[in-house]
A and B are shown apart, each in its own frame.
Chain A
Amino acid sequence: MSAVAAAEVHEKHTGSVPRILVFSTNNISDPGIDLAGSQHMHYSPGVEVISLPCTSGIKPSWIAHAIDQGFDGVFIASDGDECAYLPDCAKRAARIVSEAQAQLTELGHDPQRVKMAAICSVCAEPFTRQVQQFSATLAALQAAGAK
């Protein structure tokens, strides 16, 4: 079964779509996500965004908490190399993700529930594609009975 088909099956059975919490950044990725809306691109309403100044400010425990409390996944729309604050932002973000994954594993959740991709201020289409794919992956995880 393709991932997209899995998402549809999941929706039919559970009546719900995977819930994804997105961490974006005020100056870089959040404008990109806004642009997806301005261009009327569609992704699932299960996707909700919290915007912060910088990706490097995300606490791994927030990611673990979100998933433990009921989000199916956390997507980090990172600054990548475009961060205006921290030259090593991408490296810090990678550390935050692996720390969050370690915490998730400890809590008994699949570490694949966290995903990160650099999203720039005009990355409307890449964002939409990424969260659609992530939705599908999460639905497939669900279908396979993962926690």
Chain B
Amino acid sequence: MNSEETTVAGQLSPEQRRIGVYVCHCGGNISDYVDVQRVVDAIKDEPGVIVARDTIFACADATQENMEEDIHQYGLDGLVVASCSPKLHTVTFRGVAKRAGINPYQYTQVNIREQDSWTHGDNPEGATHKAISLVKAGIARTRLTTPLEPLVVETTQKALVVGGGITGLRAAIGLADVGLEVFLVEKEQELGGWVGRFGTMYPHDRRGSELIAGLVGEVRRRSSITVFTNAELMAKSGSFGNYVAAIRVNSDLPELIHVEVGSIVVATGFDTYQPEAGEYGYGIDGVVTLPEFKALIDASSGPLVHHGRPVKTIAYIYCVGSRQPGANEYCSRYCCAATAHAALQVSGLDRGVHQYHLYRDIRTYGKYELMYTDSRKNGSVYMKFPEDTPPSVARTDGGQLTVTTHDTLTGGEELTIPADLVVLVTGMVPRKNEELMGLLKLPVGTDGFFNEIHPKLRPVETVVDGVLIAGACQGPKNSTESVAAGLAAVTQSAAILKKGFAELDPQVAEVNAAACTWCEKCIDACPYSAIEKAEVAGRTVAAISPSTCKGCGGCVPVCPEDAIDLRGYTDAQIRAVIDTMLEEPVA
């Protein structure tokens, strides 16, 4: 090879690449609509393509082995698989590349199923042209790949848990049991969050306060857990794997405690919706929220009494503060089940109480349906009201509390129920935690709860490496679901920390120092403070820390000198993809 043929020292020019391309039938999922053979024929002479094959199932073990053989036999240095969505198999085929000695970032997956055959089943000719266009573009992109190595950082074998509710307590125990040292920071004086204040809870009728006492006992028994109550996280510095957390214990004390941690589990929980004065009669004596009612029944050991008056008739109004267009649009999940459970608790205290449940929809999902059935067997009456005519609450001149509603199931008939107590079944709302959000750079959704990267596939990770979210701070969850998320955060922390090192995605932004004029525009564009001033060859330029950069690319369009590229999505690659797509007419 003479030096003119190489672009960068030791790197092949795009035309000299040796790429293997595999176009998948996916059984018939692709080939029923896309003429796979025509695609292979159309791309086999593209510059850099050495091997081009069709395959019935690209992901099958045997096919993966064949790819590895091709890579060895033909000395391939790039891989393209045209198949299903990259969300499904990028990791699979990066693994093939890696096993056979190709850098995994020189693999490209082209989506010709979800974004082609399945959506153009009405137009096989168009689908085939589109497949050719997409595969050619994938090859063009692969020609411009460079080997990328994940950044390896050593990780501290310690974790910080913020929030000592049921989620944070269970997570702290789990973290200690996988061998990590744990710091647990709770803002209040008492550990336990909401559950710590509850009497019996669904689904097992165990007392919340006892559950929490058990967990607190477990925490105390583990010397590797340090608990700070009346405490708050004040600052976070360092980078992934080695964060330094500054904790203030007792707001009167000026000194901060500094601890080094590898991961941070945020389990700061929720608040309940607080109705406005007058909303469903809130403010009238005898109108209470679900948490207020729960406290009343938890404190009772016999027939209910509210403000000195016996309670013989209760009306529950569901979905208060949940499922409201333009406000809290989500369903709060826990409240239908918690109310059915509360109704059963009331029947247990006094069989003679009449209970009317005025609902929009009952969502006692899964096994909680049995509580709903049980509550009906115990005399609870459920009535559905129309969404556009919610019930109204008033106290008559005679002092009687009444609820007026329309019963959808009897043709919208108007009913007035005299009640001793009206319970507003209030939903969950995000807890106000602006400072914490700012200092951990926690991503927040439009609903105000913290956002995970992917609700199904990466349910407790955030885009900030090593910062995990768990429990009701992520969105409405009951305690079973909250604890499950807490334990997922334990597993995730263990996966990150137990090896002693972590690999960071190398697809981060980088500055071409020669082009940078140190205008500082990119500095403001990066909310993660990943860009800093550096001296390169006697010039002041911007430099991006690969361990802090999240790879969003937000700084890329901001640079007036086009000096920033996101690895894996470089300017040259995107332009090549655009140009190559257009080479193939799509009829």
Contact = CB atoms under 8 A, between A and B. Distances in A.
A40 interface: yes
A65 B111 CA distance: 23
B586 A19 contact: yes
Interface in A58-90: 58-62, 65-66, 69-71, 81-87, 89
B586 A85 contact: no
B479 interface: no
A101 B293 CA distance: 57
Interface string B548-587: 0011111011000010001001010011011101100111
B569 A37 contact: no
Interface stretch (B74-82, B116-124, B143-151): B116-124
A48 B557 contact: no
A108 interface: no
A74 to B, nearest CB: 10
A121 B453 CA distance: 12
Nearest to A62: B574
Contacts of A89: 554
A46 B550 CA distance: 33
Contact of B578 (A40, A56, A71): A71
B222 interface: no
A129 interface: no
Contacts of B7: none
A34 B578 contact: no
A125 to B, nearest CB: 13
Given A15-B587, A44-B126, A53-B551, A66 B444 contact: no
A57 B552 CA distance: 7
Contacts, number: 141
Interface stretch (B128-136, B403-411, B422-430): B128-136
A69 B111 contact: no
A43 to B, nearest CB: 6
B443 interface: yes
Contact of A53 (B113, B527, B569, B581): B569
A36 interface: yes
Nearest to B88: A34
Contacts of A49: 111, 115
B446 interface: yes
Contacts of A65: 575, 578
A16 interface: yes
B87 interface: yes
B120 A53 contact: no
Nearest to A52: B569
A37 B116 CA distance: 7
A75 B472 CA distance: 36
B552 A86 contact: yes
Contact of A34 (B115, B451, B575): B115
A96 B555 CA distance: 12
Contact of A42 (B121, B129, B134, B557): B121
A89 B579 CA distance: 27
Given A45-B126, A45-B127, A17 B556 contact: no
B454 interface: yes
Given A15-B587, A57-B556, A82-B446, A48 B581 contact: yes
A126 interface: no
A130 interface: no
A54 B554 contact: yes
A92 interface: yes
A143 to B, nearest CB: 18
Q: Which of A34, A83, A96 has the most CB of B within 10 A?
A: A34
Given A42-B122, A48-B133, A85-B554, A62 B575 contact: yes
B126 A69 contact: no
Interface in B161-198: none
Contacts of A34: 85, 87, 111, 114-115
Contacts of A37: 113-116, 118-119
A16 B575 CA distance: 23
Contact of B443 (A71, A84, A96): A84
A27 interface: yes
A135 B229 CA distance: 59
Given A33-B115, A44-B126, A57 B569 contact: yes
Contacts of B85: 30-31, 34
A48 B566 contact: no
B462 interface: yes
Contacts of A81: 445-446
Contacts of A2: none
Contact of A40 (B118, B137, B557): B118
A41 B446 CA distance: 28
Contacts of B527: 86-87
A97 to B, nearest CB: 11
A50 B574 contact: yes
B583 to A, nearest CB: 10
B451 A82 contact: yes
B463 interface: yes
A31 B87 contact: yes
Nearest to B125: A45
Contact of A58 (B121, B130, B557): B557
B562 to A, nearest CB: 8
A62 B569 contact: no
A21 B133 CA distance: 12
Contacts of A38: 114, 118
A51 to B, nearest CB: 8
Contact of B552 (A36, A41, A48, A56): A56
Contacts of B86: 26, 51
A79 to B, nearest CB: 10
Contact of B556 (A44, A59, A87): A59
B114 A33 contact: yes
Contacts of A43: 119
A44 B453 CA distance: 30
Contacts of A45: 116, 120, 123, 126-127, 129-130, 586
A43 B114 CA distance: 12
Contacts of B451: 82, 84
Interface in B473-511: 507
B586 A46 contact: yes
Q: Lowest 10 A-B CB distances belong to which pairs?
A: A57-B553, A45-B126, A37-B114, A85-B552, A37-B118, A34-B114, A56-B554, A54-B552, A37-B119, A45-B130
26 contacts: A16-B585, A16-B587, A19-B586, A21-B578, A26-B86, A34-B114, A36-B114, A38-B114, A42-B123, A45-B130, A48-B586, A50-B578, A52-B569, A59-B556, A59-B574, A62-B571, A65-B575, A71-B582, A82-B445, A82-B446, A83-B443, A84-B452, A84-B453, A85-B443, A85-B550, A87-B527
